[in-house]
Structure 1
Amino acid sequence: MKQVNRPHLHESLNQIIVKKDKLEIANWIETMELISNELQYLIPLEKRLLGAPAVNQSLLTVQRENQLRLGTLYRYERTMINAIEYDTTECDAYYLHAHEKNRDGFMDHIKTYTALKLTLLSKILERF
């Protein structure tokens, strides 16, 4: 997880918020990349141990969603380069809305993935 540097007194509130948001986005991306790596193990594990088509399909769906969301976060991270340059209320509202939308999507995805992972692990435990 990325480390937060203390804000400097010469930075504006907008600069501090943008730095915080960029850090948060980097942490989301790191988490999504870890999920992607986990899925590379969970999918074959499910095939070998359970062979349950419904669970396998759910894993593949989450894997696809993970890749799509990761792409969205990479694009969003690139747009944050311009965030400091624009200091208008309209721009602030746009970035706030975009950030909240991405946060909500990330959190929903984490909840879905976690529930699926727990379901998979519990089914493996039941079987063995």
Structure 2
Amino acid sequence: MMDTKIYAHDNEVDLYQKNNYVELQTWMTLLKLTAKELESFVWLGERKSFKSEILIHKLTDKKAETSVLLDLLGKYLNQITEIRECEDMDCEYYYQHQHEQLRVLFNYHIEQCSKLKCKLLNSIEAI
């Protein structure tokens, strides 16, 4: 676990690393909550609340994608402490580029989950 408190003596690399660490933790928390929501929707769907079996399969697939993304973020979270050991700009660029790619992937995934949840809610049969 990284100390994310900001100190006056922190340099740019320290601040960048701490910010990325906190951001990754936030993404992982949101993905865990999303996985729980998707699991609940699958449970509802299995009780014939949805008009479409296809939506249930999409939910299951999206839940699996969420798990894969969580694993990917967890692995990267363990790697970012190595940024302090970078001795050149190429190394620093590698970690910055990785983080930006993960940001795009995370945002796209959350957007797709939101769209799927809206479709599901619109398909629930009146009780």
> How high is the TM-score relative to the length of structure 1?
0.89
Q: What is the alpha-carbon distance in structure 2 between the residues aligned to residue 75 and residue 106 of structure 1?
A: 14
Structure 2: runs of 5+ lacking an equivalent: none
Match of 2:100, as an amino acid? E
- Give the structure 2 partner of residue 9 of structure 1: 8
CA RMSD after TM alignment: 1.3
- Give the structure 1 partner of residue 57 of structure 2: 57
Deviations 1:70-112 (A, max 9, x none): 1101111110121122242111100111000100000000000
Q: What is the alpha-carbon distance in structure 2 between the residues aligned to residue 115 and residue 69 of structure 1?
A: 18
Q: What is the alpha-carbon distance in structure 2 between the residues aligned to residue 75 and residue 27 of structure 1?
A: 15
Structure 1: runs of 5+ lacking an equivalent: none
- Give the Å deviation of 1:34: 0.7
Deviations 1:16-69 (A, max 9, x none): 011000000000111111111112211011221125211011101101110110
- Give the alignment of 1:1-128 within 5 angstroms: 5=5, 7-48=6-47, 49-50=49-50, 52-124=52-124, 127-128=125-126
Q: For 2:8, what is the secondary structure of its paired residue?
A: coil
Q: What is the alpha-carbon distance in structure 2 between the residues aligned to residue 33 and residue 101 of structure 1?
A: 20
Tell whether the 8 Å contact from 2:51 to 2:123 is kept in structure 1 after alignment: no
Match of 2:39, as an amino acid? Q
Number of aligned residue pairs: give it. Answer: 122
Q: What is the alpha-carbon distance in structure 2 between the residues aligned to residue 84 and residue 46 of structure 1?
A: 47
- Give the Å deviation of 1:9: 1.9
**% identical equivalent positions:** 25
